[in-house]
């Protein structure tokens, strides 16, 4: 569904695949079950609504530290549109590391998702660090 709280992990309602239950849909956080290299991708549809300037960010966090973000800026008000946004990141994670996406905006924005499922957060292990796992 649509989501608007800022500076909090984005929760999800549906998992197509969640092997090992590493993704907690309610909290919106992925917890690495094993050490290794992981790939993450996010695609979302930002709803922009403003009478003047609009700024919208999706940000990827690792253990509370900002890893990267995507940004839409619209200056010709009034604004009323949806804007697709996406990013990818490859991370070297240790067991228990947490990864999530959150948003920040000004003044009036929301993450739009409908029955067509336009919002996706994908993560998978590329390579396991075998020595650390032993």
Q: How much is the pLDDT for 123?
A: 92
Give me the chain's average pLDDT, please.
Answer: 83
Closest CA to 49 of 107, 93, 120, 127: 107
This prediction has a pTM of 0.83
- The Cα–Cα gap between 105 and 6 comes to 7
Q: How much is the pLDDT for 50?
A: 67
Q: Report CA Rg, the chain.
A: 16
Question: Which tokens sit at 11?
Answer: 């929760």
**CATH number of this structure's domain 2-128, picked from the four choices 3.10.20.520, 3.40.50.300, 2.60.120.40, 1.20.1050.10:** 2.60.120.40
Q: Which of 25-29, 91-95, 115-119 shows the lowest per-residue confidence on average (mean pLDDT)?
A: 115-119
- Across the range 19-29, mean pLDDT stands at 92
**Three-class SS of residue 20?**
helix
Domain boundaries, the chain: 2-128
> How do residues 48-90 score in pLDDT, each as one tens digit?
776 677 778 889 999 999 999 888 777 766 667 677 788 899 9
């Amino acid at each position: 569904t649509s989501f608007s709280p800022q500076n909090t992990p984005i929760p999800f309602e549906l998992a197509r695949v969640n092997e090992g239950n590493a993704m907690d849909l309610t909290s919106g956080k992925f917890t690495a079950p094993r050490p290794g290299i992981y790939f993450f991708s996010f695609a979302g549809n930002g709803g922009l609504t403003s009478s003047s300037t609009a700024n919208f960010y999706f940000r990827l966090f690792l253990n509370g530290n900002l890893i990267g973000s995507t940004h839409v800026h619209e200056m010709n008000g009034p604004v009323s549109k949806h804007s697709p946004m996406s990013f990818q990141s490859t991370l070297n994670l240790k067991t228990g590391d947490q990864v999530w996406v959150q948003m920040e905006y000004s003044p009036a924005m929301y993450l739009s998702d409908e029955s067509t499922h336009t919002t996706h957060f994908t993560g998978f292990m590329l390579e396991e660090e075998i020595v650390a796992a032993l």
